[in-house]
Amino acid sequence: MMIAGWLVTTSKQPQVFSAFMVTGGSLANVVCQMVVRSLKFGGKTLIDFDIALLSEPCMLLGVSVGVICNLVFPEWLITVLFAIFLAWSTLKTCKCAVLYWKLESEEGRRNGFGKLESGLVGGEICGGNGGGESAKVPLLTGESEICKLGIPRVKLGVLIMIWFSFFLLHFLRGDRYGQGIIPIEPCGVGYWVLSALQIPLAITFTTWILHRRESLQNQTSFQQETGPSSKLTFPVMALLAGGLGGVFGLGGGMLISPILLQVGIAPEVTAATCSFMVFFSATMSSIQYLLLGMDHIYAAIFFALLCFVASLVGLMVVQRAIEKHGRASLIVFSVGTVMALSTVLITSFGAFDVWRDYTSGRYMGFKPPCL
């Protein structure tokens, strides 16, 4: 999906196509994960809504910053950053895949491979120290936590509210040409003031969620020593992932996945949660590209639908493989393979485009965010 976003077009906006394609692919994942229940995880959905709650405000802020950087940065810089980022993510993901495979093999030898459940559940894997526990304290409880479909309605409602809060700011601000519901000078003071309001908005939501978490922790017998760095792990991770996702036209999941695996989150939960968070960030990124005056809208929608169908097929194939072999590490291996292939292809094609711009004498420096 990500590779296609760079290869299907030779226009100057490959990241725009990528954002729409990631939206289509993540939507397929979210729909499936909302329906599918996991017996290994107590019959609940595999999406970790607590991690999503801690991450979404900062991720949406990062997307906004990344989209602006995408307009400012020259193509060669984006290509270099993308290559470095993918190489690092690929290395981390492949290391985790090998470790999960070894642990599953050991579990199979102890219990017999016929009894090997579909992967392992969390723990100190990939060098993690149980950091995933920082999200284990329930957030925003107070109603019947699980409805008939196994979806926490309060948490999902808060996530949607956060998304709409950021969307409202973008809607009020309008596009960079001054077209919006209120008269604002294109890229004037009002435009940038509304853009900057996303910073206190993200800080407010994140602080409230962390405060709510601490309050619930004090009301229960769950006691865990968490310093400031542990509390901010997921928000900082989401801010960086959203920023890179906005710059590259991706959802940020390729940065989140290695980190969640590193802190000991199970592969199935990592895949489901990343797709869920990426859906929010990718839709926000796509909307911002629309407001910023993107071209080829119908082509972008077509590729989004194509990725939606392809993701559904891929999910069924991977699920069948996991059920047959009893190894959730296949998820990590598949992600690592795609990332490794992407590193080679995207770097090669990006370098070719940069060389073509250089030989044709095109301007290759930084650009103003408003033209």
pLDDT score of 123: 47
* CB < 8 Å & 24+ apart, contacts of 147-151: 149/34, 149/35, 149/45, 150/37, 150/43, 150/44, 150/45, 151/34, 151/45
Q: Is 54 contained in some domain?
A: yes
Question: Reduced to 3 states, what is the DSSP secondary structure of residue 38?
Answer: strand
DSSP type of residue 367: -
- CB atoms < 10 A from the CB of 322, how many? 18
Total number of domains constituting the chain: 1
Round the CA-based radius of gyration of the chain to a whole number and report it: 21
pTM (2 decimals)? 0.76
Q: Is 1 contained in some domain?
A: no
CA–CA separation, 147 and 45 (whole Å):
11
Q: Is 254 contained in some domain?
A: yes
Angle between the N-to-C axes of helices 233-248 and 253-262, in degrees from 0 to 180, rounded to the nearest 10: 150
- Which class for 81: exposed (0-12), middle (13-18), buried (19 or more C-beta within 10 A)? middle
- CB atoms < 10 A from the CB of 313, how many? 10
Query: Where in the sequence is the domain holding 18, given as residue range(s)?
Result: 12-109+151-217+231-360
Q: Is 207 contained in some domain?
A: yes
pLDDT score of 111: 73
The CA dihedral of 89, 139, 195, 78, to the nearest 10 degrees, is 0
CA–CA separation, 20 and 285 (whole Å):
8
pLDDT score of 326: 75
Q: Is 267 contained in some domain?
A: yes
pLDDT (tens, 9 = 90+) of the chain, 371 residues, equals: 444 443 343 344 555 677 788 888 888 888 887 777 666 666 677 888 888 999 999 988 998 898 889 889 998 998 898 888 888 888 888 888 888 888 888 877 777 655 454 444 444 456 554 444 444 555 555 444 444 456 788 888 999 999 999 988 888 887 666 666 777 777 788 888 888 999 999 999 999 998 888 877 666 544 454 555 567 888 988 898 888 877 876 656 667 787 787 777 888 888 888 888 888 878 877 877 777 666 778 888 888 899 899 888 888 888 788 778 778 788 888 888 888 887 888 788 888 888 998 899 888 889 888 76
Question: Reduced to 3 states, what is the DSSP secondary structure of residue 73?
Answer: coil
C-alpha closest to that of 90 among 344, 349, 350: 344
Question: Reduced to 3 states, what is the DSSP secondary structure of residue 44?
Answer: strand
Q: Is 200 contained in some domain?
A: yes
Q: Is 137 contained in some domain?
A: no
Per DSSP, the residues of 277-318 read: HHHHHHHHHHHHHHHTT-S-HHHHHHHHHHHHHHHHHHHHHH
Q: With residue 183 as reference, give the H or E element that holds it.
A: none
CA–CA separation, 47 and 253 (whole Å):
14
pLDDT score of 159: 92
CA–CA separation, 301 and 330 (whole Å):
30
From residue 108, alpha-carbon distances to 103, 116, 147, 322, 334 in Å are 9, 5, 35, 14, 21
- Which class for 65: exposed (0-12), middle (13-18), buried (19 or more C-beta within 10 A)? middle
Q: Is 286 contained in some domain?
A: yes
